[in-house]
Amino acid sequence: MWHNQAILTDTEFVLHGSVGELQRLAAETATFCREHSLGDEVEFDLNLVLEELFTNAVSHGECAGMEKAVQVRLQLLNDGVHVEYADRGRPFDPLTAPEPNLDASLEERRVGGLGVHLVRQIMRDLEYRRAGDWNRITMRRPC
């Protein structure tokens, strides 16, 4: 997808399957954005997307309590921030999840699906693949 672009900068980190790691996730994202003078809106969007994917993996994907459950790679390229998110949860392709019915009343809405909807609205060039025991999602946040 973006392999022939020059990587301006790159950071990677690993998270354990605990909601306590959300603070570190936010801190790593904030550090990356500050180091590269990315605005608050970019930081907010990246944090929201990564928090949503991570929380889903821990809460629904069987990553709770797992050591080294999630890997995140952030790359600054000339067309935005490219994100590689991987978790060792049960197979789940967020790109095939049904769209939530945003016009339905709260009583009629199906539980869940809003987080995945936000990821699809914020990010571009989303791709999913299952590689061994890993769900791998690549995506781009334009800057």
Q: What is the pLDDT of residues 88-97, one digit of tens each?
A: 999 999 888 7
Token code pair at residue 49: 């997307």
pLDDT at 8: 66
Asked if residues 51 and 114 have their Cβ atoms less than 8 Å apart, the reply is: no
Mean pLDDT taken over the chain:
88
Residue 21 has pLDDT above 60, yes or no: yes
> Which structural domains are found in the chain, ordered by start?
10-141 (3.30.565.10)
* Entry pTM: 0.86
18 CB-near residues (< 8 Å, 6+ apart):
58, 64, 65
110 versus 26: the higher-pLDDT residue is: 26
Helix, strand, coil shares of the chain as percentages rounded to 5? 35, 25, 40
Please tell me the distance from the alpha carbon of residue 99 to that of residue 119, in angstroms, as a whole number.
Answer: 12
pLDDT of residue 109: 44
Residue 130 has pLDDT above 50, yes or no: yes
Q: What angle do CA 76, 80, 85 make, to 5 degrees?
A: 70
Give residues with Cβ within 8 angstroms of 105, minimum separation 6.
none
What's the pLDDT tens digit per position in 45-69?
A: 999 999 999 999 999 999 999 999 9
